[in-house]
Amino acid sequence: AAWSTSLAIPGTHPRIWYGNAARLAQARSYFTSVPFTPASGDLTELNAQRALRGLLNNNNADCDAAAAYLATWTPQGSVRDALRQQGEGLLLIYDWCRARLTPTQVTTLVARWNGYMDIENADTFANQGSEANNYFWGRVRNNLMWGIARFGDNARAQQFIDNSLDLRFGNWFARWTTDFGRGGTFVEGSDYGVVMLAY
């Protein structure tokens, strides 16, 4: 690759948000005094909450339920929308409950998610030239999270990290900020503009 962003990624899971042992211990301690019950009308969000509770409480049943959901999840309707809207929750489940996935499930998920990233990155919509678009930022997030989640055991993990941080953020977005994006205002307004910041 022309670029190579170097990140300090732990060799074990969890990596995303809780890759630092002290931070994970702090979150687990907080959970003992402020527990929560997963509750959401959205199945991906519900299972991401299960994954978090499973991680914080060392509860295999929660992670097993979340991992089973992830293993059978496929985009409903538009692939673009499904990955933009649900990618974060799904990739958190993968990272936080990685130990509860079978080798066969991991093999299937790696092929599936590599394919999803390839579809997104080759899309003629919301890539270079769409730096003020919420789909663009969903792809920044998904490429980075998938690269981190699979780093060390997916030959393509660094490619996804580079796509997110070097190509999209460091190259395309940086160029956009000096021209169309001058002033820092997200042009999609108070609805999708805020969504992009969340991504």
Q: Identify the band that residue 110 occupies on the pLDDT scale cut at 50, 70 and 90.
A: very high
Residue 4 has pLDDT above 70, yes or no: no
pLDDT tens string 122-135: 999 988 877 777 89
At residue 38, the pLDDT reads 96
- Candidates 92, 88, 44; CA nearest to 69 is 44
Average pLDDT, the chain: 90
48, 56 Cβ separation under 8 angstroms:
no
- Give CA–CA dist 141/3, Å, rounded: 18
At residue 1, the pLDDT reads 46
Which position has the higher pLDDT, 165 or 176? Answer: 165
50, 66 Cβ separation under 8 angstroms:
yes
- Residue 130 phi, psi (nearest 5): -120, 35
Residues in the chain: 199
Which percentage of the chain shows pLDDT scores above 90? Answer: 69
Residue 2 has pLDDT above 60, yes or no: no
At residue 189, the pLDDT reads 61
pTM: 0.90
Lookup: tokens for 151? 């780093």
Q: How far apart are the first and last CA of the chain?
A: 25
The predicted model gives 76-100 an average pLDDT of 96
pLDDT tens string 142-163: 999 999 999 988 889 999 999 9
Q: Report DSSP state, residue 16.
A: T
Q: Report DSSP state, residue 32.
A: H
One-letter amino acid at 102 equals T
Q: How far is CA 86 from CA 1, 42, 54, 122, in A?
A: 28, 10, 19, 19
The predicted model gives 65-75 an average pLDDT of 97
